[in-house]
Amino acid sequence: MSDSQKTNKSSKDQDLEANRVEPKPEMTTNQGVKVSDDKNSLKVGSRGPTLLEDFILREKITHFDHERIPERVVHARGAGAHGVFKVYESLADYTTAKFLQDPSVETPVFVRFSTVAGSRGSADTARDVRGFATKFYTEEGNFDLVGNNMPVFFIQDAIKFPDLIHSVKPEPHHEIPQASSAHDTFYDFISLTPESMHMLMWVMSDRAIPRSFRMMEGFGVHTFRLINAQGKVHFVKFHWKPVLGIHSLVWDEAVKLAGKDPDFHRRDLWEAIEGGDYAEWELGLQLIPEEDEEKYDFDLLDATKIIPEDLVPVKIVGKMTLNRNPDNFFAETEQVAFHTGNIVPGIDFSNDPLLQGRNFSYHDTQLIRLGGPNFAQIPINRPVVDVNNNQRDGYHQMNVNKGRVSYHPASLDGHSPTEVPIPAGGFGSYLERVEGSKIRERSISFADHYGQARLFWNSMSVPEKKHISSALQFELGKVETREVRVRMLEHLARINEVLASQVAAALGEVVKDGKVTPADGTGVAPALADFSKAVSETTASGGLQRASGLSLVEKPKFPVDNVKTRKVAVLVTDGVPAEQVTAFKEALVAAGAKAEVLASHLGQVKGADGTAVAVDKTFTTSGSVMYDAVFIPGGKNAEALRNQGPIRYFIAEAYKHAKPVVTVDEGADLVKKAITLEGITEPESAKKAPDNRSLGLIIGQGSDVKGLVGQLLAAFESGRFYDRPNIEEMAV
């Protein structure tokens, strides 16, 4: 054989080697048992309870729960506070739970808020789900309402939870990116998991970047049961409605806050409570009689679905007030242990397969994170009632148990705990008849993965649709694998083709009739204005085309004061009219809002009349993203600030973020120069013509500062001013 033949043969061998497809490994348990179904836990029938004998589920979740020490596997970064809960009226018609019976009883609570994906060192303002977990220290034992700030979840069955979190966590080969879903492994998983589409719409919306913990809703996510003394059952969804209303950041703010103040949310909660501005939420219930379980075109047991409030209104039943900060972060906020399985008589589980798996997972997680089985003896986890059982020894045992009896039944020593009959207050599970084959199968009633994603999209305002589109463009633009991007665009097309086309244009693709092809350079993406018409012609879910309470712009109305604790920056330098600063602060504080004076240095600035004006923060250590509005006093103050680039940037940034901007007299020229917007009413004509209040631009005279504060408060009630012209083209 010639050398050339040898060379050719070698090349052919190399080509074959390069093109050889290795067989995919078969999935097994840690014991080598081949797994036939990794998508569904073992249940009694397709809608029945999960079986404890499911060794595949238990092994998978146990390994997942023990993967990281010492911080939480998820929800590692958080903040907490103590408080109280009171019910408005007895709910005896629905439940025997005592803390929901007597309006005069205050039930102590501890609440922990958190982000999900990031480590303890990540920033508060990442685009993420927020945990909202409440521990009620009731007279019948602890009840934990372990929820999120979104009412749905990515998956339907707990057996997929380890896969979800593995995909969203930093990729294991280089531990990048931190606290971000914008990478290949997350969207690889999501694109292969259609049930995630509804939750994805929530996470890409403004709900994923709340203004503060105090201004976000909370949801129990799962469907539970309430049982009254007569044994009557209602399915229930738990809601927390913030008294301050629902407010979110815009993405540009969230990104900048991560650098300027990564503790923005934690600091806000702490400072509000320390200042006596207690955080408050009303508890709401969606109640569905047991006989209506199969009334809707979605399944109550499916955690990827909401019950639209148009179909089942939320009944407001009580209020929670957080009024005390922790004394020690580690001892309380870090060591608090929540568990979906901590319930009290009158509350019981449904057969939601995600909830059933969580009931195993949470307890197992605490065993490794808090060092052993006695974590309930840590003060923050300890119930307010006596604990009596035969559970002894173990790591960190704090009780000194006397005598020789640690079993039941027992006749020795005379202090063995006795069982409590159900009529006397002992816990009894709901007597549900269960029958069916042992099977790994998803109920067909869980099969609609796009209807409620479409319902959410349809329910958004035009600005919110733009934000969702921009979020997906950013996220999928970070995905390096085209195959994954294409799969995601195909899913988005099934939700709304205008949305899919907008995202596709940013990815160099074209979507038409649900098909994705590379852009040839001649196609033009649909105009953003089309979002206003991008509503499905058919119903999306539950017989609805849109649903109330989902949009933050067309926000649900709360019978509360939305301006309390809103924060305004007052920009000053030497020569500021001190009387304007004083009048503005007094009027604002009287309404429950706050003002902080910003200057180039700490200490004081000298007013025009020689009066000293105290400075709270500097321009260097703050930014417009930390405030809800900006006020620029007039006079020489405005003239001196006009030529300072950072000040003009501060104002322009606030304007771009659709926040109210207030000024007087000479400040109008500064604002005009900052935002380069024509048509601002000149101060001398303010009394003769309407100003730009419809745009959140409040310009008047220095002699009427208190009147301008009234206009500012009204602007806060209106929310953000997304109708401002050209804000998307501004350079800041």
Q: What is the pLDDT of residues 362-420, one digit of tens each?
A: 988 899 899 888 889 999 999 999 888 888 888 888 889 888 888 888 888 876 788 88
What is the band of 683 on the pLDDT scale with cuts at 50, 70, 90?
A: very low
pLDDT at 213: 98
Q: Is 555 helix (H, G, I), strand (E, B) or coil?
A: coil
Determine if the peptide bond prior to 423 is cis (ω within 30°).
no
pLDDT at 392: 85
The partner residues of 512 in beta bridges, in order of sequence, read: 515
Q: Is 483 helix (H, G, I), strand (E, B) or coil?
A: helix
pLDDT at 446: 97
Q: Give the percent of the chain with pLDDT over 70.
A: 91
Mean pLDDT of all residues in 111-136 = 97
Mean pLDDT of all residues in 107-133 = 97
Q: How far is CA 597 from CA 584, 605, 617, in A?
A: 11, 10, 7
Examine the pLDDT at 42 and tell me if it is beyond 50.
Answer: yes
Residues involved in catalysis = 75, 148
pLDDT at 169: 97
pLDDT at 31: 77
Q: What is the pLDDT of residues 598-611, one digit of tens each?
A: 999 999 999 999 99
Examine the pLDDT at 559 and tell me if it is beyond 50.
Answer: no
Domains and CATH numbers, the chain: 42-381 (2.40.180.10), 451-533 (1.20.1370.20), 567-729 (3.40.50.880)
pLDDT at 688: 38
What is the band of 530 on the pLDDT scale with cuts at 50, 70, 90?
A: low
Mean pLDDT of all residues in 555-561 = 53
Q: Give the percent of the chain with pLDDT over 90.
A: 72
Examine the pLDDT at 684 and tell me if it is beyond 50.
Answer: no
Q: What is the pLDDT of residues 626-647, one digit of tens each?
A: 999 999 999 999 999 998 999 9
Mean pLDDT of all residues in 481-492 = 98
What is the band of 318 on the pLDDT scale with cuts at 50, 70, 90?
A: very high
pLDDT higher at 8 or 294: 294
What is the band of 6 on the pLDDT scale with cuts at 50, 70, 90?
A: very low
Question: Interhelix angle for 197-204 vs 462-477, to 10°?
Answer: 100
Secondary structure, 3-state, 29-88 = CCCCCECCCCCCCEEECCCCCECCCCHHHHHHHHHHHCCCCCCCCCCCCEEEEEEEEEEC
Q: What is the mean pLDDT of the chain?
A: 90
Examine the pLDDT at 110 and tell me if it is beyond 50.
Answer: yes
pLDDT at 614: 97
Mean pLDDT of all residues in 583-609 = 96
Q: Is 126 helix (H, G, I), strand (E, B) or coil?
A: coil
Lowest-confidence pick of 39-53, 416-430, 471-485, 646-660: 416-430
